[in-house]
Amino acid sequence: MSYDKELDAAKNAASLAARLCQKVQKALLQADVQSKSDKSPVTVADYGSQAVVSVVLQKELGSASFSLVAEEDSGDLRNEKGKATLQRIMKLVNETLASDGTYGTAPLSEEDVLAAIDSGRSEGGPSGQHWVLDPIDGTKGFLRGDQYAIALGLLDEGKVVLGVLSCPNLPLSSLASHNLQDDQDKVGCLFYAQVGSGTYMQSLDGSTPIKVHVTDLDNPEEASFFESFEAAHSLHDLSSLIAKKLGVKAPPVRIDSQAKYGALSRGDGAIYLRFPHKGYREKIWDHAAGYLVVAEAGGVVSDAAGNPLDFSKGRYLDLHEGIIVTNQKLMPALLKAVKESLNEKASSL
C-alpha cells in the first residue's frame, strides 16, 4: 500500500507548523508560556502548531475518518485565564494558514481553533489509521532557543507507516562537522520516511530531497552518542556507564527532542540512549515519527531489553527500562553493555 498522498499532506502540515513555531521562537513573550498540570511548559506555539497540523491534514485528506493522537488539549484555554492566550493562538494560526495561500480561505474562529486542538484526543490503538503528533517536541529546547521538532507519524493497524520530522533549528550539514561558531551554517531540516521506501531529508525551504542512512560504523570506540539535553528526562549517569563499557571516547551530544532521531538517521552520531527516571511513561508522540525516520534509514530502535517498540497500545508506550537506538552492527554490543550496566545499577541500590 502506498501512503504518497498522506505523506504529501504530512510534509505540508509539518512545514507550515514549523513556520508558526519559528515566528513565535523569534519573538517569544513571557505571556506566551504557560505551565501544564504536570508542571511542564506549553506555549502558544505548541497549541498553534497542533491546530495547524490538524487543519491541514483534514483539508488535504478529509475529516470523515480523521483520527489524531496528539500531546496538547484545549482544557486550559477554555477558562477566563486562557482567553488572551487563545486570542493569540487564533491570530497565529490564521496568519500561518493565510501565509501559505492554499489553506487560509476563511479565517478560523476561536471555537474552530479549540476544536482543531481537541481533535488530538484520540486514543489510537491497534486498528485503523491514526495520526500521531507532537506539535513541539522539546518545548524546553524551544524556550532556550535550541533544538525542537514538529513530529508527525501515521499508524496503520498499529504500525508506524509514515514519519515526518520538521527540525527548524537543525543545521543542514552534519552535527559532527558542524562548527557551532559558524553562524553561516544553514538550519532547518525536514526528514521524512514512508515504510519500505527509505528516509529522505530536505531543507525546510524546499531543497531537493536526499536519501539518508545511519552510520555504518562497527567499532563502538569510534561512535558518538546522543542523549536528552535535560537531565530530568534521561539518566545521564547510566548512559555514561554504558558508553564507558562500549569504549566510546567522544563526550555525549546532548540535544533536545526528536531532532536526535533525525541527526542519527543521517549518521551524525551512532547511538541514542534514553533512560527516563523511574515511574515515567513514554508517550507515542515522543517516538513514532523519529522511530520510522531511523528505521527506514537502516537503524534499529528497541527498548533496553531489545524488544521492538509497540505503538499499538494507545497513547503510551510500554517499555522495558528505556529506549536505545543504533545501527544493526553496533546493536549486539550496545545491548550487552546496556544489560551489564542495568545489572550493576540494580546491584548498587
Among the residue ranges 85-93, 200-208, 239-247, 279-287, the one whose residues contact ligand PPS (CB under 6 A): 279-287
Contacts of residue 159, defined as CB under 8 A and 6 or more positions apart, other chains included, come to 195, 311, 312
* Distance between CA atoms of residues 226 and 253, nearest Å: 5
Least distance from C-beta 30 to ligand PPS, angstroms? 18
Catalytic residue, candidates 43, 85, 96, 139: 139
Contact indicator for 12, 60 with CB cutoff of 8 Å:
yes
Contact indicator for 55, 230 with CB cutoff of 8 Å:
no
139 classed as catalytic: yes
* Distance between CA atoms of residues 49 and 144, nearest Å: 18
46 classed as catalytic: yes
The secondary element (H helix, E strand) that includes residue 22 is: helix 4-26
Q: Which position among 119, 169, 228, 302 is part of the footprint of ligand PPS (CB under 6 A)?
A: 228
Q: Which position among 32, 268, 286, 321 is part of the footprint of Mg ion (CB under 5 A)?
A: 286
Interaction pattern, residues 252-271, with ligand PPS; x per rule: CB under 6 A: ----xx--------------
Q: Annotated binding site for Mg(2+), which residues?
A: 71, 134, 136-137, 286
137 near Mg ion (CB under 5 A): yes
Q: Which of residues 10-49 bind ligand PPS (CB under 6 A)?
A: 40
Least distance from C-beta 136 to Mg ion, angstroms? 5
Contacts of residue 333, defined as CB under 8 A and 6 or more positions apart, other chains included, come to 220, 246
Q: Which position among 191, 192, 229, 291 is part of the footprint of ligand PPS (CB under 6 A)?
A: 229
Q: Which position among 6, 71, 118, 321 is part of the footprint of Mg ion (CB under 5 A)?
A: 71
CA dihedral 155, 157, 158, 161 (to 10 degrees): -40
Beta strands 129-137 and 149-156: pairing type?
Answer: antiparallel
Contact indicator for 191, 262 with CB cutoff of 8 Å:
yes
**Residues annotated as catalytic (active site), given as ranges:** 46, 139
Q: Which residues would be at the binding site for Mg ion (CB under 5 A)?
A: 40, 71, 134, 136-137, 139, 286
Q: Which residues bind ligand PPS (CB under 6 A)?
A: 40, 71, 134, 136-141, 228-230, 232-234, 256-257, 276-277, 280, 283, 286
